[in-house]
Chain A
Amino acid sequence: MGVIVLLIAFSLLVALTFLGAFFWAVKSGQFDDPQTPSMRMLFDDEPVSKNNKTLTNKTD
């Protein structure tokens, strides 16, 4: 039965890791703005465009 003590210690450790992750998420501001990230995920990585001027940024 002593194994239960060990298992519980492990389960608590795992749970604490998740609590730590939650703390990190709150502190890094993930709970501050629930709306914008849902819009951000729709953006393409590379903007589609007909003229390729990517290399010659800032011509003026």
Chain B
Amino acid sequence: MHKNSLIEKNQCYHCGEDCSDYSISTDDKVFCCEGCRTVYQILDENNLCNYYNLDNRAGNTVKANLERKRFDYLLDLEVQHKLVDFKKGNTVSVTFFIPNIHCTSCVWLLENLQNIDQGVLRGTVNFLKRTVTVVFDDSKTSLRALVELLTTIGYEPSLKLEQLNEKKAHSIERNLWLKLGVAGFCFGNIMLFSFPEYLNIDQSDSSVMFKYFFGTLNIILALPVLFFSGIDYIKSAWAALNQKGINLDVPISIGMLALFGRSLYEILSGTGAGYFDSFTGFIFFLLIGKVVQKKTFDRLSFDRDYKSYLPISVLKITKGGELSIPVNRIEIGDHILIRNQELIPADSINTTDHLQVDYSFITGESEPVTLIEGEQVFAGGKVIGQPGELIVSKKVEHSYLTQLWANESFKLSQNKRPLTSFADRISPYFTFSVIGIALISLIVWLQIEATQAFTIFTAVLIVACPCALALSTPFTLGSTVNILSVNGFYLKNLTVVEELSKTNTFVFDKTGTITESNESKIEFIGEKLSKKESQILASVCHSSTHPLSKTIFKNLNTKELLTSDSFQEIHGKGIIATIEGVQVCLGKLDFLREKLTGIEFDISEVLHSGSKVHIAINGSYRGFFSIQQRFRKGLKNLLLQFDGLDFPQYLLSGDNEKEKSALLSLYKGWEEMRFNQSPTQKLEFIHSLRNKDTHIVMIGDGLNDAGALKASDFGIAVSDDKSSFSPACDAIIDSDSLGSLDQFLSFSRISFNIIIVSFFISLLYNVTGLGFALTGNLSPLVAAILMPLSSVTIMAFTTLATRLTAKKMGLKLWV
């Protein structure tokens, strides 16, 4: 199993990316950059090269963060205290979230960190949550050294501001497992002890003694089920009744208490064997439903606010030099340094000339803006290219980025329509009919045979217990959510499925949602460039950090680069450079006119929307690159599908109108298109669409959509990379799956019909049970058969029905 045979020669041994040349190599292995080689050297030195054998796609490229980040702030005791899980003597345990964890090799390497740093005692990876918990010896290594090590080997932990403000809540899940375990244990044993009763072997003399013995055991075993496993249902029912409402837990609790009370009475009075087997089985099945319901996507986060975006630290420039400090300690007037690809944490004044800032995440503008000295910079922008020195003008909490969360209408939208499940809505009717039937039978039987009346009354309450009813929703929706996640659509929880199935109005964001954020459609219009000319052009573009230059460089696809003799980049305008005696000028048309006087321009650029980069080589105009943002695959079809269903569709964009024609050619039927929208305007637009018949879906991707996502009935965040941060929403969709949204929608509708059908099935069981109960024939054996049977039928029916539907619709069932 050698990797060499699998990987082509010019691919980086560490990350598998194409190498532009063979210059960086060690032990006849080629690397794409110094970063990758360093990782290899560290691993090789510490005998950890097994890393490359476990998985072919093991290495993470370290190209992006060649510049070494500084982690001085991790020396700060307060920061340390908030990050570590616990500290005992010199032993410290800390959990990092590492988005880069993606394969077996990652798990292996991160659990063998002690081979590299001897201060590490052990590492434990949770693959689903993408976390690693490292226990280390504080006297031999430090938190800072650990983070630096992880960053060097390509596993940079994601350290965000929110981690400084809150501590993780401990898992409620463990408790649920324990409750299920206890219920299952008692259920099994009580069934065993009830066996003589089922077989009716109580003819002998000693049977009376055994009856009491088994009865007592059953009572003892049933107690923890009522007071530990099932107590949540009673609490929830009590809370609902206190608020003068009835949820599904009310009939469940009535059934539970009736079962328990009746059984207790029968055993203590010696009149019967009781229904403790049914009672414990009932709670056991209910808890299984709850476990299914609790299953969520740990690694995805649906409730993020601005704190998740901001970095944990920032470089502060002091008289003594640069110092990295936690972001929440930035004061007004501080000088801070923000480097390439770093986020600006607070509103500031720019002191660097021609600072390029990319606001796409907060405003939706696709192109970076160039700022001159003294201009205002807003929090949330990303610095591109040369580092910027800023003077902080507002604290983090009062910055532009955070305003949205303070906005009144944003707060209003917090309490949007209350989410009640279908099951909860029908439970008042259910409860009242059960109590009604029970009372009528009580009165009727009092006339016929008063001794039987009380028995019948409790029997009705017992069989009417909506166990199957309570299971149908979690099992159907659990299965639905599971299938959707396999297909790239991750729902926040089960309750939102119902809202999804009702939606009928769609609002799309443009940048990053309709258009792909990294890919663009590029074409060269003009006189064809020779191979040499392309090479020269590529070399010039390579030296620039402007996104358009990068796009052109990628498009030219040249491996070997030339060094330029002279290079001058005027920010926001263009580049003029000389390579091997050839002068190249590229950029805006005005820039070319200004630099090269007396040349002719014959162009028909009006025909092309999108951004343009004009090229002149050796003083003669050659044409221009037209760069358009590319629309996502399958989107056109999706828009037409919704159109066919008569759903109104809106478009909101933070960008200007330059791509309006392209958007119209994609789909003509836009109900309305709005450009230059601020995050707050987007939020207000959603509010204005509101009326009782609309169920609005907002589909967005960035922070600029955060308000609108929250205000809508169903917010969907589009994400290229699931583990990266997406704003607060009800669901996250893989960008590749966006085209199938119409299918997901109809699937959610069908699963709602499945719930309704399964409700009828479970009602059928209840009616059958009522037949036994009303005639006074509900023996413990009948109850013990009927109850688990109905539960199992519902579980099997809902699971099979959803999977068959999904298969019919062509959705994937397995990963």
Contacts and interface: CB of A to CB of B under 8 A. Distances in A.
A47 B109 CA distance: 11
A36 B107 CA distance: 8
B47 A44 contact: no
Interface in B98-119: 104, 107-108, 111-112, 115, 118
Contacts of A11: 192
A2 to B, nearest CB: 9
6 contacts: A8-B193, A19-B185, A23-B178, A23-B181, A27-B174, A53-B46
B48 A12 contact: no
B111 A40 contact: yes
Interface residues of B, number: 37
B181 A26 contact: yes
Interface in B472-491: none
Interface in B22-71: 44-50, 53-54
Contact of B47 (A22, A42, A53): A53
Nearest to A5: B213
A34 B127 CA distance: 9
A33 B101 CA distance: 15
Contacts of B111: 40
Given A40-B107, A47-B47, A48-B53, A57 B118 contact: yes
**What secondary structure prevails in chain A residues at the interface with B?**
loop
Closest 6 CB pairs of A and B: A47-B50, A36-B127, A33-B126, A22-B181, A35-B127, A26-B177
**What secondary structure prevails in chain B residues at the interface with A?**
helix
Contact of A49 (B49, B118, B182): B49
A58 B115 CA distance: 9
A59 B118 CA distance: 12
B47 A49 contact: yes
B125 A36 contact: yes
Nearest to B204: A1
B206 interface: yes
A8 to B, nearest CB: 7
B407 interface: no
A4 B104 CA distance: 52
A45 B73 CA distance: 37
A50 to B, nearest CB: 8
B50 A49 contact: yes
A31 B177 contact: yes
A12 B217 CA distance: 10
A39 B45 contact: no
Contacts of B44: 51
B217 A8 contact: yes
B450 interface: no
Interface string A16-44: 00110011001101011111100110111
Contacts of B721: none
A19 B217 CA distance: 17
Contacts, number: 81
Given A5-B213, A23-B181, A27-B174, A57 B115 contact: yes
A18 B499 CA distance: 43
B128 A33 contact: yes
B271 interface: no
Contacts of B173: 31-32
Nearest to A47: B50
Given A40-B107, A58-B118, 4 more contacts: A26-B174, A31-B177, A39-B107, A42-B54
B5 interface: no
A48 B128 contact: no
Contacts of A1: 206, 210
Interface string B68-110: 0000000000000000000000000000000000001001100
Nearest to B188: A15
B44 to A, nearest CB: 8
B129 interface: yes
Given A49-B47, A58-B118, A39 B206 contact: no
Given A12-B189, A40-B111, A32 B174 contact: yes
Nearest to B49: A49
Interface string B139-155: 00000000000000000
Residue among A18, A39, A44 with max Cβ neighbours from chain B (10 Å): A39
B171 interface: yes
Given A31-B174, A32-B171, A57-B118, A39 B185 contact: no
Contacts of B188: 15
A19 B182 contact: yes
A59 B53 CA distance: 24
A16 to B, nearest CB: 8
Contacts of A39: 104, 107, 127
A35 to B, nearest CB: 5
A36 to B, nearest CB: 4
A22 B186 CA distance: 14
Contacts of B54: 42-43
Interface string B183-226: 00100110011000000000000100010010001000000000
A47 B104 contact: no
A49 B44 CA distance: 9
A44 B178 contact: no
B571 to A, nearest CB: 41
B104 A42 contact: yes
A40 B129 CA distance: 15
